Structure 1
Amino acid sequence: MATFDVRPDIDAAAAKLQNTLGSKREIQRLPEVLWEDETVEMLATGVYGKGNGLVAMTDKRLIFLKHGIMSQQVEDFPYARISSVQWSGGMILGTLQVFTSGNKAEIKQMPKAQGKDLADRLRARLAGAPGATPSSAPLPSTPGGDVASRLATLDQLRAGGAITDEEYRDRRTKILDSL
């Protein structure tokens, strides 16, 4: 496996990649698109739009980076805007679907193990599981604010499999109690 010597968090995540073919340039360029205090937790490879690139899960957002010779592409998905995540895998590769504010992004041809692990970690973060940062909780904290949209987001999380029925009931009760 290749070593990159970029940054400790990026190097650790890159060391876990099964294959870095087609993503070496993106790994080297990743610090250019990260925010100042952002830390990389996991990396995966995949195809988004027209390009092969790198998917980076950080402590603040999900990033897709493609840095080719003729074109570059960066798209990010802050966790507060992600409503649900879906993973579908074949024998070797799979597709990660990220749902945000009525939009859907598909990252295809992800290695099965990496994609499933990334989807599971995203779901845990969206559900506010232990180890997920409090700022990544998917529900707005406006007391009594837009209750309808909070309940709709909660319904989407349950429908997408990001939270269990028990978590759904607990959160729904908290939202209704805040009225």
Structure 2
Amino acid sequence: MGKFSVRPDIDAAAERLSNTVGSKREINKLPEVLWEGETVDMLATGIYGKGNGLIAMTNLRLIFLKHGVMSQQLEDFPYGKISSVQWQGGMMFGTLTVFASGNKAEIKQIPKADGKALADKLRMLIAQGGAPAPAGVPAPAVPGQDIAGRLATLDQLRAAGAISDAEYQDRRAKILDSL
């Protein structure tokens, strides 16, 4: 729906959003909360807790991000911890209920088409036992992984188009500085 210049995977997911109202700040802040090697597949808007925010489905987890002027909220649900998902659609909006580690999280006011697609994909991932990384994209770097492995992961991310050349150079410099 909106034009963004954040990162190729985030931009592509934002283009598919039916509504970006109340989530533009979160879309721009999303790279700050993603783990190294994590890529965004789908986005939706919704209300969780006390605020309107962004729901991001990545290759590793489901994230709810609210980044307001006065308060910020981040909650994530790793796919291996999600036991079930419920979708309840209304005329225009619906509610996604995520059951994870004995807790229940209700994300409300999700545009119907976005929420249904998100719920269907989540169910598929749960049935498969977790989220596999998209083809060509390696798993994120594990803390303590050797420098050569981290650099190889970074090379694969750039080759897959998950990160830009500028991001590649920046992350490569950080890895080398950690020596």
**TM-score, normalization: structure 1?**
0.72
Equivalenced residues, count? 133
> Any idea what SS the aligned residue of 1:95 has?
strand
Residue identity matched to 2:74: V
1:84–1:100 Cα contact (<8 Å) kept: yes
Determine the structure 2 residue equivalent to 1:17: 17
Matched residue, 2:89: 89
SS of residue in 2 equivalent to 1:6 = coil
1:125 maps to: 125
SS across alignment from 1:27 = helix
Cα deviation for residue 4 of structure 1 reads 1.0
Q: Percent identity?
A: 74
Where relative contact order (Cα < 8 A, 6+ residues apart) is larger, the structure is: 2
Q: What SS is found at the alignment partner of 1:123?
A: helix
| Pairs within 5 Å for 1:1-80 | 1-80=1-80
Contact 1:60 1:79 in 2 (8 A): yes
- SS in structure 2 at match of 1:65: strand
- Specify the SS of the correspondent of 2:10: helix
**Structure 2: which 5+ residue stretches go unaligned?**
134-179
Gaps of 5+ in 1: 135-179
CA RMSD of aligned residues (A): 1.5
Kindly state the Cα deviation for residue 2 of structure 1 after the two structures are TM-superposed. 2.4
Partner AA of 1:125 in structure 2: L
CA distance in 1, matches of 2:2, 2:62: 23
Runs of 4+ with >4 A deviation: none
TM-aligned CA deviation for residue 3 of structure 1: 1.0
TM-score of the superposed pair, with normalisation by structure 2: 0.72
